[in-house]
Amino acid sequence: MNELSSVALMTEQDRQISEVIAEERPRLRNFIRKRIPNEADVEDLLQEVFYELVEANRLLMPIEHVTGWLFRVARNRITDFFRKKTPQAFSDSEIEDEHGELLQIEDVLPSPDAGPEALYVRSVLLDELEFALDDLPAEQREVFIAHELEGRSFKELSEESGVSINTLLSRKRYAVLHLRERLQTVHDEFLKK
């Protein structure tokens, strides 16, 4: 197959996928919405289902009955959604200090009972952490959040994603370095007074 016919085939496949997505989106959304109360979670799961369709197509996996396949994937994603342990409150999450000792985020934040100024500083620090996480490349952010905040193991993440444990460790390391650098100024400004 020459390069031109390969591009034409990809364009045709993209068109077909777009048609399937447009046609099945309302039914799939309703299917998911009946089982998941939060609209943002519904949309996330819907995107995951369509992502799997695109990936299956990219890997040239034969799918005989696309509609049935999409609903099976949606059902699996819903099951996975409910199997995940209850999300851990951000303030209950653990972090490591520069010596590798485990600290809870509460250990590095001012106490909410220490008055209005401490409450304000606490709020600013949590906001800055959230902004810093948003600045990370998606792959680093996902690994950092999954491992540090959700408590998932690298082995579990590797099996789920197909990415090697060493690559996941490297992504987390870069995330930690970025977060330390990004949050140092805020830390110095508020916590070293």
* 8 A C-beta contact, residue 78 and residue 86: no
Is the pLDDT reported for residue 110 higher than 70? Answer: no
Burial class (CB in 10 A: 0-12, 13-18, 19+), 96: exposed
pLDDT tens digits along 65-105: 878 888 888 888 888 777 764 444 443 444 444 555 544 45
C-alpha pair distances (Å), 105 with each of 87, 92, 110, 130, 149: 16, 7, 10, 13, 10
pLDDT tens digits along 1-52: 555 554 455 577 778 878 888 888 999 999 888 888 788 888 988 888 888 8
Quote the CA–CA distance of 165 and 182 in Å, as a whole number: 25
pTM check: above 0.85:
no
